[in-house]
Structure 1
Amino acid sequence: MSCGDPGADGTAGLAQSATEVRLGVMRLARRLRAEREPGELTLGRLAVLGRLERDGPATTSALAAAERVTPQSMARLVQHLIDADLAERDLDPADRRAAIIRITEAGRREVLRDRGQREAWLAQAMTGLTDVERQLLVLAARLLDRLADS
């Protein structure tokens, strides 16, 4: 990856910066996926379990919106998680016609195991960085998180 002038003016400089960020993020995402043990949980199912573990119970439509998939796709995905006893469906106390999806203890263990494995690889990889580089990487991660929410 080249290191262009981060302060470059104009559309071309911004486009080059965007390209470098995209490539770096994509390469890291692929590497983190490669650190997963092969298993029955697809990345989509794991993403939903992770969201339930982080954010708490949600409706299927809220999960679909958060993961940017159709409600029908999310309904199938959630049903797989329920069938595997990784999630459960309860009636929404605020709207008895709606259902709330929550992670089970088995689902939580699976998410934490998977997350821990990938974070262990990343922590090991970061030992080759200086303190300043690690601080910059954490700052960049926070900025990437803000970009993802925009």
Structure 2
Amino acid sequence: MDDPAHGVAARPAVTLAHDLRRFAGKLKRRLREQADIGDLTPSQTSVLVRLEQDGPSTTSALARVEGMRPQSMGTIIAVLEGAGLVMGMPDPSDGRQTLIMLTDQCRTWITEGRAAREDWLARTIEARLSPDEQARLVTVIPLLQRLIET
């Protein structure tokens, strides 16, 4: 990757960053194709992931961490409730508030979707990479994990 405006070759880290970003985007799209996510928007998907990882939360707390207005989050929650993916229950420590949580149906859907994506990826690795290439790929995973650690 050259920078014609400055007449110099890009630094190797910049080229690698560009290639990794493109790869990650393509992999994400391919994985998304392998499991039925229905008509969920990225915001709706993000809320489901957050509830799965962090547990039940109030609408206002979800809005805060997702960087949106509580009214907008309320609309997202209403759609997810209508789809049977989340439900509300009174907060045991403050009955005035409602905690939003994943339904059992949603947890099953998430588990099945994850299994479908991992199955596709495992079959693709086995079909397209030799045993030596698979062994090399194993050594790369810790390096990639270090890139995303906070």
TM-score calculated relative to the size of structure 2: 0.72
Greater CA drift, 124-133 or 60-69? 60-69
Q: Which residue of 2 aligns with 1:111?
A: 110
AA at the equivalent of 1:59: T
After TM superposition, the structure 1 = structure 2 runs for residues 41-52 of structure 1, keeping only pairs within 5 Å, are: 41-52=40-51
- Deviation track 1:13-62 (CA, whole Å, cap 9, x = no partner) reads 44333222211111111111222336344444343223322332122233
Q: Which residue of 2 aligns with 1:18?
A: 17
CA 1:99/1:32 → structure 2, altered by over 3 Å: closer, same or farther?
same
Q: Which residue of 2 aligns with 1:132?
A: 136
Distance 2:79 2:49 in 1: 15
TM-score calculated relative to the size of structure 1: 0.72
Q: 1:102 offset after TM fit, Å?
A: 0.7
Distance 1:143 1:93 in 2: 39
CA 1:54/1:123 → structure 2, altered by over 3 Å: closer, same or farther?
farther
CA-atom RMSD in angstroms: 2.7
Structure with bigger gyration radius: 2
Q: Which residue of 2 aligns with 1:54?
A: 53
Distance 1:118 1:66 in 2: 27
Contact 1:126 1:134 in 2 (8 A): no
Unaligned ranges ≥5, structure 1: 3-10
